[in-house]
């Protein structure tokens, strides 16, 4: 190897090895990085959420905030954390994209045999969370999860780009695979088998979370944040309450 590229090679190696293995004596630097971490804080001053202004229906409140997030150019306003709990009682989270919402609930699409799919089959309760960082807003939604009607999944599947539709066939989501080549090979097989019009895989479709509890969080100054909770009463109406931050 010529010297110049050898130096380059070692340069890369040294940079990586410095990251991987801190040298003796570098603990001070690590500690100061950690103390900076504990100093990280910001003041939340973008807005407020008053119970007299918040609407009676949490779905309408959500619509207002979601439309505002879409219009505000925040990154991935439609990305939400989905928390599930498996049969072993242990929680797990991942990000999914909201694809629809109405009075029936909040909809996303995925692989029914994935980890989340298996956990939801064992325990059909879940929690969703949006965090619109730039707006200093969080929405939490909890409830029971059901599969959407197969026509709803078919319609949405048909609307996806071809590579996404083939990808749904190619990926045994959440299962161990030997290598990336397995995925690429599966995608090529799916393309050869289904051409330009792949049908929806039977194990791929939508879920709908039917809300039983909502919370809207607006960051405020001095950690005196606004939190409005909506929970169902026995007659199916919504009780709106302020929670302490
Ligand atoms: C921004 C973003 C959006 C995502 N949207 C989806 C989605 O809509 N559906 C999905 O199945 N996975 C989506 N994923 C991938 C999931 O986070 C996750 O890796 C995958 O669903 C497997 O999760 P599981 O093993 O817990 O089932 C998304 C990831 C990111 C970062």
Model confidence band, residue 69 (pLDDT cutoffs 50, 70, 90): very high
**Total structural domains in the chain?**
1
- Whether 176 is covered by a domain: the verdict is no
- Whether 103 is covered by a domain: the verdict is yes
**Cα–Cα distance list, 215 to 134, 138, 245 (Å):** 18, 8, 12
- Whether 33 is covered by a domain: the verdict is no
- Whether 106 is covered by a domain: the verdict is yes
Catalytic residue among 7, 15, 223, 242: 223
Taking the CA of residue 108 as reference, the ligand 1 atom at the shortest distance is 8
Residue 200 among the catalytic residues: no
pLDDT tens digits for range 73-127: 899 999 999 999 999 999 999 999 999 999 999 999 999 999 999 999 999 999 9
> What is the rounded average pLDDT for all residues in the chain?
89
Rounded CA-CA distance 86/36 in Å is 36
- Whether 186 is covered by a domain: the verdict is no
Residue 94 alpha carbon to ligand 1 centre in Å: 6
- Whether 145 is covered by a domain: the verdict is yes
The domain that holds 86 is classified in CATH as: 2.30.110.10
pLDDT tens digits for range 3-48: 344 334 333 333 333 334 444 544 455 566 777 888 888 888 888 8
- Whether 179 is covered by a domain: the verdict is no
Domain of residue 213 covers 58-156+204-243
Q: Give residue 9's pLDDT.
A: 39
Taking the CA of residue 110 as reference, the ligand 1 atom at the shortest distance is 11
- Whether 151 is covered by a domain: the verdict is yes
**Cα–Cα distance list, 6 to 11, 14, 21, 100 (Å):** 8, 12, 21, 54
């Amino acid at each position: 190897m010529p010297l110049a590229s050898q130096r380059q090679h070692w340069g890369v190696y040294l940079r990586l090895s410095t990251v991987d293995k801190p040298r003796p004596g570098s603990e001070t630097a690590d500690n100061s990085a950690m103390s900076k971490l504990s100093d990280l804080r910001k003041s939340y001053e973008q807005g407020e959420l008053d119970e007299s202004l918040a609407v009676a229906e949490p779905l309408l409140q959500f619509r207002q905030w979601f439309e505002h997030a879409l219009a505000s150019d925040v990154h991935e306003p439609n990305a939400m954390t989905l928390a599930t709990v498996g049969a072993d009682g242990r929680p797990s989270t991942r990000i999914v994209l909201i694809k629809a919402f109405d009075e029936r609930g909040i909809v996303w699409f995925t692989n029914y045999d994935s980890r989340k799919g298996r956990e939801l089959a064992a325990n059909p309760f879940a929690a969703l969370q949006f965090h619109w960082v730039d707006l200093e807003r969080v929405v939490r939604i909890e409830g029971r999860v059901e599969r959407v009607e197969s026509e709803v999944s078919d319609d949405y599947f048909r609307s996806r780009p071809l590579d996404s539709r083939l990808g749904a066939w190619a990926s045994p989501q959440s299962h161990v695979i030997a290598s990336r080549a397995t995925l690429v090979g599966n995608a090529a097989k799916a393309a050869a088998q289904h051409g330009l019009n792949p049908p929806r895989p039977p194990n791929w479709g939508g879920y709908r979370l039917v809300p039983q509890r909502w919370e809207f969080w607006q960051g405020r100054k001095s950690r005196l944040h606004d939190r409005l909770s909506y929970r169902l009463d026995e007659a199916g109406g919504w009780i709106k309450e302020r929670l302490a931050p």
